[in-house]
A and B are shown apart, each in its own frame.
Chain A
Amino acid sequence: MPYIANTKADQEEMLEAIGCKDFEEMWEKAEVFSTHPDLSKLPKGRSEYEVLNMAKKLASQNATDLVNFIGGGYYDHYIPAAVNEITGRSDFYTAYTPYQPEASQGTLQATFEYQTAICRLTGMYVSNASMYDGGTALFEAITLACRVKKKNKAVISAAVSPVFRKMIHCYSSNLNVELVEIPEDGVKSNQQMLVDAVDEETACVLVQHPNFFGTIEEWTDFVEKIHNKKALAVCSVYPTALALLKSPGEMGFDIVTGEGQCLGNSLSFGGPYLGIMATTKKCMRKMPGRIVGKTVDKDGRDGYVLTLQTREQHIRRSSAVSNICSNEGLCALTASAYLTCLGKEGFRHVAKLCAAKAVYLKNLLLDIEGVEPVGEEPFFNEFIIKLPCDASEVARKLIDIGFAGGFPLGQYYPDRSNQLLIAATEKRTKQEIKNLATALEAILWN
C-alpha cells in the first residue's frame, strides 16, 4: 500500500496502546457504523509506473501540438525554465496557508512581493494575495463596490469577457444584486450608454482593458463621469498588456481585477489560474481575500504576516466580506517569479513582441481577399477579422491542418458568426504567422 508507513507490527502495537484488539474494535469505540460500501467498481490500485503510462496515454490524446492563435483571455506565453524550478520547490508547494508566520516567511515574503508587483502594474494602492480566477475576482469586485457604496446595482459592458459575464450572472442570482448589461458598439464598449445607465442605485460599472475583442480604449474621461454619478469604476485587465498600456490606476479606476494566467501559469485546460484584485486605500478594509502586511518580530527585525484578518470568514463568519478561504498561492508565487525573471525590461520586451506580431499578422490576414477588418480601433495582441463565410467552419478546417487559428465569436455573440478572434504571443514566429495566412487563404479560395 503506497504512502502509508505503519507496518503490520506497528499497527498491532498501536492498536494495543489505544485499547483495541483490531481495527473493527477501533471503529466501534469511535462510534462509527459502517455503510459497507461496495467499491468493486473502482479500479484496482496501480503501481507508479502503470499510473504514469496511463496518464501519458491520456495526455497524448490532447491536441497540444497545434500552432496556437487562440486567446480569449487565456494566452500561450513562454514560461521560463527558472520559474518552474522555483515553484517546484516543495518547501513552497507543500506548505499550508501561512498562519504560523515564524514558519512561513518564504510564502509571506513572496506574497508581499507579488502584491508589490501587482500594485506597480495596475497603478493601485493595494493588492490582495490572489483569488481563484479572473471571473470570480470580477464578481467579488461587484460585492466590494456594493459594500463600499451601500448600493446594489452593477452596470457591465458586453465587451467584457463572456466567460466572466456568465459567471457573474450565476453568482448574482440569489443575491440582491441587479445586473444591467450594455451592448458593445462595434469592437468598443458603448461608453455613453454605460454612463447613462448609472443611476442612484448603481454601485459600480465594469469594463475590460483591453476588452474581449482586443481593443484598447481610453477610459480617463469615462471614469470621471462615473465618479460624478457617485459610482465606482471597475476594470478587468490582461496583465501582459499593462507592460505597455497606461495603468488603470492612472486612469482613475477604483477596483482592478484580472486573469493572471499569462504571468507564467500554464494553460492547463482551464486552471488553476490566478485571480488578481487590487484597489484603492479607501476600499482596502472592505476588500476580500488574504492580504500580507509588513511588521517586525520581537527583536525588531522586518517580517511579514497575514493582516487585516477581521475582514475574513474564520473571524467574522457570516458577516465576513467573502467566503474565500484559500487563494491561489502557488499561482501568485508563479506570477511573482515570472515577473522577477523577466524583469522591468524583459516584461516590456515580451509585450512589444506580442504587439508587433499581432500587427504583422493582422496586416497579412487583411491582404487576403474577402477578409475584412472589424473597426479600426487600436489593439494590443488580439483582434477580430470578418470572413466571407461561417467562422466556426473555417476554424475547424484550420485545426485539420495544424492551426488553432482563432476563436469563432458566433457562440457568444450570435450576430458575429463570421468573425474570428485572433491572438499572437511572443511564441509565434514570423514563419508560423505566414503559414497561417497561407492556410487561411487556401481554405477560403481553393
Chain B
Amino acid sequence: MELIYSKSREGRRGVSLPDFDVPEANAVPEKMMRKEPANLPEVSEQDAVRYYINLSKLNIGVDTNFYPLGSCTMKYNPKINEVIAKLEGFAALHPLLPQLKHGAALTQGALQVIYDMERMLCELLGFAQFTMQPMAGAHGELTGIMMIAAYHKANNDHKRKVMLIPDAAHGTNPASAAMNGFETREIPTDDHGNVDIPALKEVLGPDVAGLMLTAPSTLGLFDENVKEVCNLCHEAGALIYCDGANLNALFGRVRPGDMGFDVMHVNLHKSFSTPHGGGGPGSGPVGVSEKLAPFLPISRITKMKDGTYCLGYDYPKSIGFIAPFYGNFGVILKAYAYMLSIGRDGFLRISENAVLNANYIRTKLKPYYKQLFDRHCMHECVFSVDIQKEKYDVSAMDIAKGLLDRGIHPPTMYFPLIVHEALMIEPTETESKETLEEFIDAMIELAKLAEENPDEIKKCPVKTPLKRLDEALAARKPVVKLEEK
C-alpha cells in the first residue's frame, strides 16, 4: 500500500478547527520561527480514515486470528475495558491536579483505582506492597533491580555487584541488570528443565546481589525446586526477583510471594488482558516483600482514616521517581476492570484452562515435533523443529510462515535460546477447543508437508499482503523515513 503522503494535496485538511476569536498574534520573534511548515500530509478526513482502516487490515491481531505467541499471553482483550478507559472522568484528567494544594480531593476516583489495584495485586500474589508506576515489563524489571541495589546499599553491603540470570531468561533481564550497573552471570538449566542447583551453589557468594527467575520458566515448566532456589539465595544474602511474564499459569494456585520471592513485576498487557497495542503501551506493576517496601518509588498513595486517598512523597529510602506521575493509568484502568470482572473465584479458572489448553496442544503435537523436556507443561509448550531442519532443511521460521498462510499467527520463534529451532506456543485460556484443533491440524499438516514437499513450505507465506521480506537489506541500507523531495 502507498504511504499516506501519496494522497496529499495542498489545501486539504482532515478536521475542522475553530477560527481566531482573539486577535491573531504571537509572542515569537520572526527569527525564531520556522521558515516553512513541517511537511505533513494534507488529506481530507475521509481519505485519512479510509487509509488507516485499510492499513489496519494488513495486520493480524487477537481480534482477527489465533495468536499463540509464547510468553506474550495474547489473550482476548475485553471490550468493556476499552470503554472504561475512555470515560471522560478518567481520560481527560490532568496529572498535575493532585499536586495542587488540597488537590487530591479533585482526583479521588482515580487515586482509588490505583490504590485498589495495588491492594488487589498484593492479595492475589502474596506481596506486602505494590507500585503501579512502571510503564512496561522491562521498566518493572529496572524498578525492581533498583530496589535490590538500594536494599544492599542501605545495609552497607557494597560488594554485591553480580546479578544471576538463568540461560532461559528473556533478554530484558540481563539488559535491565546492566542498566543498573550490575555485572550479569548466567546459570545453566539442568536436564529436567529446572535451574541447575549445583551450578547455582557454586556461584552464590558475597558478591551476588540477586537472582532473576522467570516463573514458570520460558520453557513453560514449573521449577519444583523454586523454594530451595529462594532459600539458597537468601542464605547467601542475595534477593530473588520474579519475572512475572508467565504469571497466567499460576493464578489462584501459587502466590509468588508465598514461595519466597522478594520482588516481582507483572505485565498488565499479558495476564491482565490489556491489549498489546502493536508494541505498547504496556504496564509493569512491581510487588515487594516487607523488607523492600521502604525503597518503593514515589509518590505513594495512602488511604486516610476518613476513607479518602492522598499522595505522599516523604519516603526517605525511596529509589525516587521512575515515572512522570502514577504509571500508565489508562492501561491500569483496563486491568482494574478485568480484575473486578474475574473476581476471587475466577483466577484459578484462568490458570486451569490456560494450562489445560497448552497441554492439549502439547499432547496432540508430540508425535510430530520434538519436545526437549518430556513433561507436562504449564501455560505454554515448547517444541524444537530441529529434526525437520536436519532431515528436510525446514526451519522454525518456515513452519511459522506456513502457519501465516493457514490464518494463524505463528508462535514465538527461536526462543528460549537454549532450544534449537524453537517454537514456543501459548494458546491462553480464552481460546476454544475448536480453535486449538484448527491450529493442531495446521501444525500436523505442516509437519507432513515438511517431509513430503519441503520446497512448498519455503515459499510461504503467499496469502499474506506481502511475501517474505528482506530484513538483511533493511539493516544494510537503512531507509528509516520518507525523504522529502
Instruction: Establish whether residues A104 and B93, one from each chain, have CB atoms under 8 Å apart when the complex forms.
Output: no
Instruction: Establish whether residues A98 and B278, one from each chain, have CB atoms under 8 Å apart when the complex forms.
Output: yes
CB of B367 closer than 8 Å to a CB of A: no
Also in contact, A91 and B253, with CB within 8 A (given A5-B431, A46-B341, A174-B149):
no
CB of A438 closer than 8 Å to a CB of B: no
Closest CB in chain B relative to A97 CB, distance in Å: 4
Also in contact, A105 and B466, with CB within 8 A (given A35-B126, A350-B17):
yes
Instruction: Establish whether residues A101 and B87, one from each chain, have CB atoms under 8 Å apart when the complex forms.
Output: no
CB of A358 closer than 8 Å to a CB of B: yes
| CB-CB contacts below 8 Å: A254-274 with B | 259, 266-273
A330 proximity list for chain B (CB < 8 A): 275, 277-278, 280-281
Also in contact, A293 and B480, with CB within 8 A (given A104-B60, A352-B24):
yes
Instruction: Establish whether residues B278 and A64, one from each chain, have CB atoms under 8 Å apart when the complex forms.
Output: no
Instruction: Establish whether residues A95 and B61, one from each chain, have CB atoms under 8 Å apart when the complex forms.
Output: yes
B375 proximity list for chain A (CB < 8 A): 29-31
Instruction: Count CB-based A-B contacts (< 8 Å).
Output: 700
Instruction: Establish whether residues A30 and B378, one from each chain, have CB atoms under 8 Å apart when the complex forms.
Output: yes
CB of A436 closer than 8 Å to a CB of B: no
Instruction: Establish whether residues A126 and B481, one from each chain, have CB atoms under 8 Å apart when the complex forms.
Output: yes
Alpha-carbon distance between A60 and B484 when the two chains are bound, in angstroms = 47
Instruction: Establish whether residues A340 and B481, one from each chain, have CB atoms under 8 Å apart when the complex forms.
Output: no
B136 proximity list for chain A (CB < 8 A): 132, 324-326
| CB-CB contacts below 8 Å: A57-115 with B | 57-64, 66, 68, 70, 72, 74, 76, 78, 80, 82, 84-86, 88-98, 100-107, 109-110, 112-113, 115
Chain B 87-101 near chain A by CB (<8 Å), digits 1 or 0: 111111111110111
Instruction: Establish whether residues A18 and B13, one from each chain, have CB atoms under 8 Å apart when the complex forms.
Output: no
Q: Other than the known A117-B40, A350-B17, A408-B100, what 4 A-B pairs have Cβ atoms closer than 8 Å?
A: A37-B254, A94-B276, A96-B67, A342-B14
CB of B210 closer than 8 Å to a CB of A: no
CB of A365 closer than 8 Å to a CB of B: no
A117 proximity list for chain B (CB < 8 A): 38, 40
Instruction: Establish whether residues A3 and B76, one from each chain, have CB atoms under 8 Å apart when the complex forms.
Output: yes
B258 proximity list for chain A (CB < 8 A): 35, 37
The contact of B48 among A43, A340, A348, by CB within 8 Å, is A340
The contact of A272 among B170, B280, B337, by CB within 8 Å, is B280
A127 proximity list for chain B (CB < 8 A): 480-481
B364 proximity list for chain A (CB < 8 A): 17
| A180-188, A195-203, A228-236, A331-339 - the one binding chain B | A331-339
Alpha-carbon distance between A68 and B249 when the two chains are bound, in angstroms = 45
The contact of B356 among A18, A90, A103, by CB within 8 Å, is A18
CB of B155 closer than 8 Å to a CB of A: no
The contact of B481 among A60, A96, A109, A115, by CB within 8 Å, is A115
Closest CB in chain B relative to A50 CB, distance in Å: 8
Alpha-carbon distance between A173 and B415 when the two chains are bound, in angstroms = 33
CB of A346 closer than 8 Å to a CB of B: yes
CB of B387 closer than 8 Å to a CB of A: no
Also in contact, A106 and B56, with CB within 8 A (given A175-B181, A296-B473):
yes
Q: 9 closest Cβ contacts across the A-B interface?
A: A45-B343, A59-B89, A270-B325, A272-B281, A170-B320, A61-B109, A329-B279, A330-B277, A94-B61
Residue of A nearest to B344 (CB): A42
A59 proximity list for chain B (CB < 8 A): 87-90, 109
CB of A116 closer than 8 Å to a CB of B: yes
15 residue pairs A–B, Cβ–Cβ below 8 Å: A5-B435, A17-B364, A42-B124, A55-B337, A61-B89, A86-B53, A91-B57, A102-B465, A107-B59, A115-B481, A116-B481, A250-B34, A307-B478, A329-B281, A330-B275
| B78-86, B198-206, B228-236, B443-451 - the one binding chain A | B78-86
Instruction: Establish whether residues B277 and A93, one from each chain, have CB atoms under 8 Å apart when the complex forms.
Output: yes
Instruction: Establish whether residues B12 and A343, one from each chain, have CB atoms under 8 Å apart when the complex forms.
Output: yes
Chain A 215-229 near chain B by CB (<8 Å), digits 1 or 0: 010100000000000
Instruction: Establish whether residues B179 and A322, one from each chain, have CB atoms under 8 Å apart when the complex forms.
Output: yes
Instruction: Establish whether residues B33 and A23, one from each chain, have CB atoms under 8 Å apart when the complex forms.
Output: no
Closest CB in chain A relative to B440 CB, distance in Å: 11
Instruction: Establish whether residues A2 and B342, one from each chain, have CB atoms under 8 Å apart when the complex forms.
Output: yes
Closest CB in chain A relative to B309 CB, distance in Å: 10
B314 proximity list for chain A (CB < 8 A): none
Alpha-carbon distance between A112 and B349 when the two chains are bound, in angstroms = 41
CB of B398 closer than 8 Å to a CB of A: no
CB of A415 closer than 8 Å to a CB of B: no
A320 proximity list for chain B (CB < 8 A): 171, 175, 178
Instruction: Establish whether residues A271 and B324, one from each chain, have CB atoms under 8 Å apart when the complex forms.
Output: yes
A444 proximity list for chain B (CB < 8 A): none
- Size bin of chain B's contact surface: 35 or more
Residue of A nearest to B78 (CB): A3
Alpha-carbon distance between A106 and B62 when the two chains are bound, in angstroms = 14
Residue of A nearest to B108 (CB): A61
Residue of A nearest to B254 (CB): A35
B470 proximity list for chain A (CB < 8 A): 295-298
Instruction: Establish whether residues B255 and A273, one from each chain, have CB atoms under 8 Å apart when the complex forms.
Output: no
CB of B287 closer than 8 Å to a CB of A: no
| CB-CB contacts below 8 Å: A232-256 with B | 242-247, 250
Residue of B nearest to A135 (CB): B324
Instruction: Establish whether residues B178 and A270, one from each chain, have CB atoms under 8 Å apart when the complex forms.
Output: no
Residue of A nearest to B227 (CB): A33
Residue of A nearest to B405 (CB): A102
Residue of B nearest to A330 (CB): B277
Instruction: Establish whether residues B55 and A100, one from each chain, have CB atoms under 8 Å apart when the complex forms.
Output: no
Instruction: Establish whether residues A106 and B57, one from each chain, have CB atoms under 8 Å apart when the complex forms.
Output: yes
Residue of B nearest to A60 (CB): B89
CB of A120 closer than 8 Å to a CB of B: yes
Instruction: Establish whether residues A11 and B319, one from each chain, have CB atoms under 8 Å apart when the complex forms.
Output: no
The contact of B52 among A39, A89, A296, by CB within 8 Å, is A89
Closest CB in chain B relative to A135 CB, distance in Å: 5
Instruction: Establish whether residues A271 and B328, one from each chain, have CB atoms under 8 Å apart when the complex forms.
Output: yes
Alpha-carbon distance between A438 and B471 when the two chains are bound, in angstroms = 62
B482 proximity list for chain A (CB < 8 A): 112-113, 116
| CB-CB contacts below 8 Å: B323-370 with A | 323-331, 333, 336-337, 339-347, 349-350, 352-353, 355-357, 359-360, 362-364
Residue of A nearest to B359 (CB): A18
A35 proximity list for chain B (CB < 8 A): 126, 253-255, 258-259
B23 proximity list for chain A (CB < 8 A): 356, 359-360
Also in contact, A136 and B135, with CB within 8 A (given A46-B343, A86-B49, A360-B22):
yes
Residue of A31, A72, A127, A399 most packed against chain B (CB within 10 A): A31
Instruction: Establish whether residues A307 and B480, one from each chain, have CB atoms under 8 Å apart when the complex forms.
Output: yes
Residue of A nearest to B72 (CB): A96
CB of B159 closer than 8 Å to a CB of A: no
Closest CB in chain B relative to A55 CB, distance in Å: 4
A442 proximity list for chain B (CB < 8 A): none
Instruction: Establish whether residues B39 and A344, one from each chain, have CB atoms under 8 Å apart when the complex forms.
Output: yes
Instruction: Establish whether residues A337 and B52, one from each chain, have CB atoms under 8 Å apart when the complex forms.
Output: yes
A4 proximity list for chain B (CB < 8 A): 349-350, 353, 429-430
Instruction: Establish whether residues A26 and B349, one from each chain, have CB atoms under 8 Å apart when the complex forms.
Output: no
CB of A309 closer than 8 Å to a CB of B: yes
Residue of B nearest to A163 (CB): B324
Instruction: Establish whether residues A297 and B110, one from each chain, have CB atoms under 8 Å apart when the complex forms.
Output: no
The contact of B337 among A32, A42, A51, by CB within 8 Å, is A51
B135 proximity list for chain A (CB < 8 A): 132-133, 136, 271-272
CB of A54 closer than 8 Å to a CB of B: yes
Alpha-carbon distance between A45 and B482 when the two chains are bound, in angstroms = 50
| CB-CB contacts below 8 Å: A353-367 with B | 353, 355-360, 362
